[in-house]
Amino acid sequence: MKRFYSSFQFVPLLPALFLLMLMYPGCSDARPQPSSERAELARKQARLRLKASAKKRAVTVPLTPEQKRREAEQKRAIRLQNREMLAMHPRWRPGHVDALWERTLDEDAPVTREALQRAAKLRTVLQRLQNQLGKPYVWGGKTPVEGFDCSGLVFYAYNAVLERKLPRTANEMYQANHLKAVRKDKLRNGDLVFFNINQRPGADHVGVYLGDDKFIEAPRTGLKIRISQLSDNFWQSHYLGARRILSDDAAL
């Protein structure tokens, strides 16, 4: 036993601790942080909280009168579109609130499902027409790919929403019995306006009335689809008449 103890090598305590710190360096960091470091960390966290709070309290700049007007028009258009979609539902019935709805086709007509359905169809027609602005006139054309002549443009825009389709030419549209004649002082959006330009019997040109004395047309070879002024002397001197496609007898 005495021989065993004499052969055992005792390692001094301090060098042993030093060896442990070299083998496990993470142990050297396991010490309390100084108060200055904790204070700096607390300040950083406070700054982050203030920045987040400032974003939530972003200052709202008051709208200008023009911005308010545009915002009101956008909301009005969205409401009208929603109401038109609602009118398509088979269970929709007019009610008290419906009396406040916008009368897209006729300000004096009562709000009914039929009136709102006409408004939805007219919106589609006018959008299809507007999408063709600036495209060149093509005689005989009736599609966006090949181009349009005057009656082809009307044929394309309206037949997408009609059960009873329009005929192809301007004079056939003008003579169609199922279209209602409209006086010039009673024109409203979507009415067809007809002209006699070449002095031959019947209508040889047609456009779609847009309101405010304007109509959209595919004029002739060399020109592009455009919006024209109905009150111009040229159109007044060649004006033949108007027809209503999306009509209700009470509004004529």
Q: Give the tens place of pLDDT for each residue, 155-165.
A: 999 999 998 99
Under the phi-then-psi rule, with left for phi > 0, alpha for psi from -120 to 50, and beta for the rest, what region is 204?
Answer: alpha
Of the candidates 105, 191, 122, which has an alpha carbon nearest to the alpha carbon of residue 162?
122
Mean pLDDT across the stretch 59-75? 76
Marked catalytic residue, from 37, 114, 150, 238: 150
List pLDDT tens digits, range 1-21. Answer: 545 445 445 445 555 555 555
Could you tell me if 165 and 218 are in contact, meaning their C-beta atoms sit under 8 angstroms apart?
A: no
Q: What is the pLDDT of residues 221-238, one digit of tens each?
A: 999 999 999 999 999 999
Out of 27, 114, 217, 238, the active site residue is 217
Residue 25: predicted pLDDT:
53
Asked about 178 being catalytic, the answer comes back as no
Buried b (16+ CB within 10 A) or exposed e, 26-41: eeeeeeeeeeeeeeee
Q: Is 205 a catalytic residue?
A: yes
pTM (2 decimals)? 0.58
Assigned fold of 114-251: endopeptidase fold (from Nostoc punctiforme) (3.90.1720)
- What is the residue extent of each domain of the chain? 114-251
Pairwise CA distance, residues 244 & 105, whole Å: 11
**217 part of the active site:** yes
Q: What percent of the chain has pLDDT over 70?
A: 68
**Amino acid 105: pLDDT:** 43
Which tens digit of pLDDT belongs to each residue from 109-152? 566 778 788 888 999 999 999 999 999 999 999 999 989 999 99
Q: What is the pLDDT of residue 193?
A: 98
